[in-house]
Amino acid sequence: MIIHTLGPEGTDSYAAAQTLVSAEEDDIVGYPSFDTILHQLDHFKGECVLLPVAFQSARKPYGWKEFNYDYWDKIELLNVFSKKTKPMVLVKNKLRKEDSAMIHPATSIFLEKYLDRMNETIPITYTDSKIKAWTAFQKKGLKYTIISEDVFENERTDDYQLIERYEPEMVWCLYKIKQEEEIIK
């Protein structure tokens, strides 16, 4: 079984895919975004795609629900399971250059709740993964981001303050992309 999902290996999606690998011929292919996977979906016939139900495109209003309905006739749901995400942390840059945030859209509820409690309004930019958000946060000197805790711990400095920690349960859907002969027309 070939599983296409968000990569690199440090992402929650890749970690969830690893729990499905059980045979030597199984493999995981990681992509920089779910949008990239969706653009190539026709090339994955007979193979699998793993999506979290929290999937939300950073480029357009399109998420798991839209995928599930959009491709209903070209996909087969093979497995649904729950698994906690890797712990995530909201990080504040004490030496920020910009009062803005970059996050993955699936984590927006955490930042929005925090900003609401603090009565703070800042521009929020969305990107394809928490890893990309972290990179931009560091490079541009942004005020906030949300990243997996293990990534933050590996690159922790006194310049960054851990504000909150989250570890929600996630529902994952493993889909098989149907072969031409399996598609009902």
Q: Which domains does the chain have, with CATH numbers?
A: 2-85+169-182 (3.40.190.10), 88-166 (3.40.190.10)
- Is residue 174 over pLDDT 80? yes
The alpha-carbon radius of gyration of the chain (Å, integer) is 18
Q: What does the pLDDT read at residue 43?
A: 95
Mean residue pLDDT of the chain comes to 93
Tell me the mean pLDDT in the region 94-100. Answer: 95
Tell me the mean pLDDT in the region 94-121. Answer: 96
- Is residue 184 over pLDDT 70? no
Q: What does the pLDDT read at residue 185?
A: 58
Distance, in Å, from the CA atom of 2 to the CA atom of 82, rounded to the nearest integer, reads 20
Sheet of 2-6, strand order: 27-31, 2-6, 48-52, 169-177, 75-84
Q: What is the pLDDT of residues 10-25, one digit of tens each?
A: 889 999 999 999 999 9
Least Cα distance to 14 among 44, 65, 52 occurs for 52
Q: What are the DSSP calls for 106-161, one per residue? A: GGHHHHHHHHHHTT----EEE-S-HHHHHHHHHHHT-SEEEEEHHHHHHT--TTEE
Which residues contact residue 53 at a Cβ distance below 8 angstroms, ignoring those fewer than 6 apart? 64, 170, 171, 172, 173
Between 51 and 8, name the one with better pLDDT: 51
Confidence grade of residue 178 (pLDDT, cut at 50, 70, 90): very high
- Is residue 182 over pLDDT 80? no
Tell me the mean pLDDT in the region 45-71. Answer: 94
